């Protein structure tokens, strides 16, 4: 059976978005809480970059997971499903996929569908204590690019 290779360019493009977003979020997270909360723009900027980072994380997850075969009815059909599939396929630790990455999937959905319920306080908490989880996913994607055969994958090095 011919397998569809993962696109190195596509994953690297998404990793660049994650790096850019994390850089901006870390800068925002260097503010003390009162300063952060005193200006709505800090919340808006942080929300934007956090959403971009999470979208890139799940774009990478979807791209990788789509290269695997699944038995009927088992193909992931949600962001949480993608998180769990990355654990099942050994791309990331299973416990991390069930706990942290699944929570990221839920938060991504909350950001997109319940954006009016987000608070500056919760965004500040995330950018000051949870960014390491996004970095873990980025590192996992780099490992896939460096050793695709370890994950039973192939890489397409061509530019698209």
Structural domains of the chain in order of their starting residue, each with its CATH number: 6-152 (1.20.120.580)
For the segment 3-37, what is each residue's pLDDT rounded down to a tens digit?
789 999 999 999 999 999 999 999 999 999 999 99
What pLDDT was estimated at residue 77?
A: 86
> What is the arithmetic mean of pLDDT over 88-117?
94
For the segment 48-98, what is each residue's pLDDT rounded down to a tens digit?
999 999 999 999 999 999 999 887 777 898 999 999 999 999 999 999 999
Given a cut of 70, whether residue 159 has pLDDT beyond it is no
Given a cut of 50, whether residue 1 has pLDDT beyond it is no
Q: What is the DSSP string of 87-105?
A: HHTTSS-HHHIIIIIHHHH
**Structure-token pair, residue 39:** 């200006």
């Amino acid at each position: 059976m011919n397998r569809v290779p993962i696109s190195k360019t596509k994953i690297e493009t998404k990793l660049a978005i994650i790096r850019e977003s994390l850089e901006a979020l870390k800068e925002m997270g260097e503010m003390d809480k009162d300063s952060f909360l005193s200006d709505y723009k800090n919340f808006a900027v942080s929300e934007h970059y956090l959403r971009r980072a999470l979208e890139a994380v799940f774009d990478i997850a979807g791209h990788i997971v789509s290269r695997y075969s699944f038995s009927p009815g088992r193909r992931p059909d949600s962001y949480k499903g993608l998180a769990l599939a990355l654990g099942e396929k050994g791309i990331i630790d299973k416990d991390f996929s069930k706990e942290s990455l699944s929570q990221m999937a839920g938060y991504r959905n909350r950001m997109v569908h319940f954006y009016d319920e987000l608070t500056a306080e919760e965004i500040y908490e995330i950018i000051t204590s949870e960014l390491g989880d996004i970095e873990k996913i980025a590192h996992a994607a780099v490992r896939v690019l460096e050793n695709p055969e370890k994950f039973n994958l192939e890489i397409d090095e061509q530019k698209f």
